[in-house]
């Protein structure tokens, strides 16, 4: 999501709750994404963390007072108009109530009335306060204003309660900011993504697999969620965390992945097959560990796995189907062949022998191949490439809809 936040002016409005201490890490993470961070604090927030701390981390003067000595340098009008996106964190019950009723009695609430930037609200408070009808009504009112509400995490609270009310981790809040800044061209669309490797068992302790880390598929799932989609991610074994807002279905073998995808394809308008599915599996898996025999080799009998992508293209529907082609030679020829042979709308092809573009990397370089031609992306982060892929998939979906209506 760094490519979305980079160069953006993020206004962080800090409310007066114990979770205010977490804003230091939020600022650090935003700065790591090359965002420009401006902080505004309520008077109560200054009781939990000092303006000097947040000023040092943000490298910008912190707005604390409507009428203080800094008012001539940074006022609520200038702050509001310069923001690309606003994060209210922690949003306390008091601050939420004042926002909901249009009060402007401190620098934060006055600024929030002026800004026309998207506003992300992250409530953090005692569980009972969060569940109180007044707070619930105030949050509903903020949602009606178009603000993006972040669901609080559950767990142990500073007050000793156990339950909802925790401020989400910085990674989740940055994902919400990136979503607020992203186009919503997939709003309400069901997107199905496959990711990661598959594992084909040889015996109870060994399996055949490949080097896929799952990063590319997870990046596509995260990007689709940011753009408003309802995303299901069917994942082979990986060490990656589930992207925010995404429903994850874990599988191991190619057969399991086929079943999980086939049962969900008919309801999906966009299917992106990123998973590196094993082409072959052992004809049979040993029930006990295969022992090494001195001086003897081992011959494995393999059989083909079903072609999942080709099978999905035969399921009735008007969906856009995207496939990947990880190649080591003659990339374009193989990609064009795959596009036609498997009934795909778009193939994302890459040379996995190219440095920085293969498995287990943070970057990738691809050629997007469809019936209209090819487009080279150049070397990008996988997050950037995910959005490029979705840009093309959305364009193809729009063309299909237009053709159907004409």
pLDDT, one tens digit for every residue, the chain (406 residues): 899 999 999 999 999 999 999 999 999 999 999 999 999 999 999 999 999 999 999 999 999 988 764 444 457 888 999 999 999 999 999 999 999 999 999 999 999 999 999 999 999 999 999 999 999 999 999 999 999 999 999 988 888 888 999 999 999 999 999 999 999 999 999 999 999 999 999 999 999 999 999 999 999 999 999 999 999 999 999 999 999 999 999 999 999 999 999 999 999 999 999 999 999 999 999 999 988 887 788 889 999 999 999 999 888 678 999 999 988 899 899 999 999 999 999 999 998 888 888 788 889 999 999 999 999 999 999 999 999 999 999 999 998 877 677 6
Active-site residue among 13, 33, 159, 283?
159
| Cα 364 versus chain centre, distance | 17
Contact assessment for residue 70 and residue 40, using Cβ atoms and an 8 Å cutoff: no
Whole-prediction pTM: 0.93
Q: Nearest to residue 64, comparing CAs of 95, 96, 107?
A: 107
Helix, strand, coil % in the chain, rounded to nearest 5: 35, 25, 40
- Rounded Cα distance between 136 and 96, Å, is 10
Report pLDDT for 68.
61
**What CATH number does domain 190-405 carry, 2.70.98.90, 2.60.40.650, 3.20.20.70, 3.40.50.10300?**
3.40.50.10300
Q: 351 φ, ψ to 5°?
A: -90, 105
Q: 159 an active-site residue? A: yes
The domain 2-181 is classified under which CATH number: 3.40.50.720, 3.40.50.1950, 1.10.150.170, 2.40.40.20?
3.40.50.1950
Of 40, 64, 141, 128, residue with least CA distance to 97 = 141
| Most distant CA pair in the chain, distance | 86
- C-alpha triplet 237, 235, 362: angle, nearest 5°: 80
Distance CA 391, CA 378 (A): 15
Q: Are 218 and 272 in contact (CB under 8 A)?
A: no
In this prediction, residue 406 carries a pLDDT of 66
- Say yes or no: do domains 2-181 and 190-405 share a fold: yes
pLDDT for the residue numbered 73: 46
- Can you tell me the distance from the alpha carbon of 124 to that of 90, in angstroms, rounded to the nearest whole number? 5
Structural domain spans, the chain: 2-181, 190-405
Pairwise CA distance, residues 65 & 71, whole Å: 7
Q: In what order do the strands lie in the sheet with 148-149?
A: 36-41, 9-14, 85-91, 119-123, 148-149
């Amino acid at each position: 999501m760094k490519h979305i936040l980079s160069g953006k002016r993020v206004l962080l409005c800090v409310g007066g709750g114990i979770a205010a201490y977490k804003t230091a890490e939020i600022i650090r993470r935003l700065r790591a994404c090359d965002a420009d961070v401006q902080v505004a604090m309520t008077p109560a927030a200054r009781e939990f963390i000092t303006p000097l701390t947040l000023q040092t981390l943000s490298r910008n003067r912190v707005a604390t007072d409507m009428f203080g000595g800094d008012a001539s340098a940074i006022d609520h009008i200038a702050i509001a108009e310069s923001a690309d996106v606003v994060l209210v964190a922690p949003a306390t019950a008091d601050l939420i109530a004042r926002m909901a009723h249009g009060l402007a009695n401190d620098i934060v609430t006055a600024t929030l009335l002026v800004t026309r930037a998207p506003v992300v609200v992250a409530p953090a408070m005692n569980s009972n306060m969060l569940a109180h009808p007044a707070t619930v009504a105030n949050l509903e009112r903020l949602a009606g204003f178009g603000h993006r509400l972040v669901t609080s995490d559950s767990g142990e609270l500073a007050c000793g309660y156990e339950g909802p009310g925790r401020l989400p981790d910085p990674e989740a809040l940055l994902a919400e900011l990136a979503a607020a800044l992203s186009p919503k061209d997939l709003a309400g669309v069901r997107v199905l993504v496959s990711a990661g490797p598959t594992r084909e068992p040889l015996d109870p302790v060994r399996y055949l697999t490949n080097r896929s880390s799952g990063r590319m598929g997870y990046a596509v799932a995260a990007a689709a969620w940011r753009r408003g989609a309802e995303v299901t991610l069917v994942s082979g074994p990986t060490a990656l965390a589930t992207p925010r807002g995404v429903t994850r279905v874990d599988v191991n073998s190619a057969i399991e992945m086929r079943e999980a995808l086939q049962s969900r394809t008919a309801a999906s308008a966009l299917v992106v097959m990123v998973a590196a599915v094993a082409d072959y599996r052992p004809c049979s898996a040993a029930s006990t560990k295969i022992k090494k025999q001195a001086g003897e080799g081992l011959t494995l009998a393999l059989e083909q796995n079903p072609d999942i992508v080709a099978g999905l293209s035969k399921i009735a529907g008007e969906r856009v189907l995207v496939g990947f082609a990880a190649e080591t030679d003659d990339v374009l020829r193989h990609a064009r062949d795959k596009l036609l042979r498997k009934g795909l709308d778009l193939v994302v092809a890459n040379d996995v022998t190219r440095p920085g573009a293969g498995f287990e990397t943070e970057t990738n370089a691809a050629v997007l191949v469809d019936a209209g031609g090819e487009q080279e992306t150049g070397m990008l982060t996988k997050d950037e490439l995910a959005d490029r892929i979705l840009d093309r998939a959305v364009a193809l979906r729009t063309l299909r809809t237009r053709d159907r209506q004409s």
